[in-house]
């Protein structure tokens, strides 16, 4: 199922939506709970910036996660992610809703996952990524594996691949150089 760099770039040209898992992808997988019932998660700033660049470039971003957390709602809002599906034990159901809502085909969608619960989406989308610290069974079903671990700028690798393949990277960089 692995694709060459050229095949990844070709598939990335068609991407109109990037779907992300949270725990293990946007975070390192740690879930910190305190005695008052508060939940803490650490997000990498470069992942967030990559997501914002995608959104600004007109590429939709969504989250599908098995857990439910106010922290995820807040982070999604900060990043401009409107499509957030939490407590999804069957991620294909949320995927199907998003796909229908935006009239997308599987090849229009990329997904980043990290564990066996992500296998159905990794196998379904047009372009799939497993983070570097995913189990081997997950890596085997992804189009590509990131160099970085989850929560350590793995999502940024993918956002950069998509922006470059779509010919949007220089426009993004020029936007920063003009400020």
pLDDT tens per residue across span 111-170 = 999 999 999 999 999 999 999 999 999 999 999 999 999 999 999 999 999 999 999 999
Whether the predicted pLDDT of 179 surpasses 80: no
Residue 75 inside a domain? The answer is: yes
Return the HEC string of the chain.
Answer: CCCCHHHHHHHHHCCCEEEECCCCCCCCCCCEECCCCCEECCCCHHHHHHHHHHHHCCCEEEEECCCCCHHHHHHHHHHCCCEEECCCCCHHHHHHHHHHHCCCCHHHEEEEECCHHHHHHHHHCCEEEECCCCCHHHHCCCCEECCCCCCCCHHHHHHHHHHHHCCCHHHHHHHHHCC
What percent of the chain clears pLDDT 90, i.e. is strictly above it?
Answer: 92
Q: Which domain holds residue 56?
A: 5-172
Residue 177 inside a domain? The answer is: no
Q: Domain with 69 in it: what CATH number?
A: 3.40.50.1000
Whether the predicted pLDDT of 175 surpasses 90: no
pLDDT tens per residue across span 14-71 = 999 999 999 999 999 999 999 998 999 999 999 999 999 999 999 999 999 999 999 9
> What pTM was estimated for this model as a whole?
0.96
């Amino acid at each position: 199922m692995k694709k060459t760099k050229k095949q990844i770039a070709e598939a990335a040209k068609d991407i109109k939506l990037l779907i992300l898992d949270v725990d293990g992808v946007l975070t390192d997988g740690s879930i910190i709970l305190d005695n008052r019932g508060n939940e803490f998660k650490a997000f990498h700033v470069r992942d967030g910036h990559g997501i914002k660049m995608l959104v600004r470039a007109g590429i939709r971003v969504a989250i599908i996660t098995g857990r439910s957390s106010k922290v995820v709602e807040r982070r999604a809002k900060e990043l401009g992610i409107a499509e957030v599906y939490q407590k999804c034990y069957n991620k294909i159901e949320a995927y199907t809703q998003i796909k229908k809502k935006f009239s997308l085909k599987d090849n229009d969608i990329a997904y980043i996952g990290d564990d066996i619960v992500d296998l159905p989406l990794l196998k379904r989308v047009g372009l799939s990524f497993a983070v570097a610290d995913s189990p081997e069974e997950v890596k085997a079903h992804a189009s590509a594996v990131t160099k970085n671990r989850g929560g350590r700028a793995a999502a940024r690798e993918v956002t950069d691949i998509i922006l470059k393949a779509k010919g949007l990277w220089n426009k993004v960089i020029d936007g920063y150089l003009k400020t």
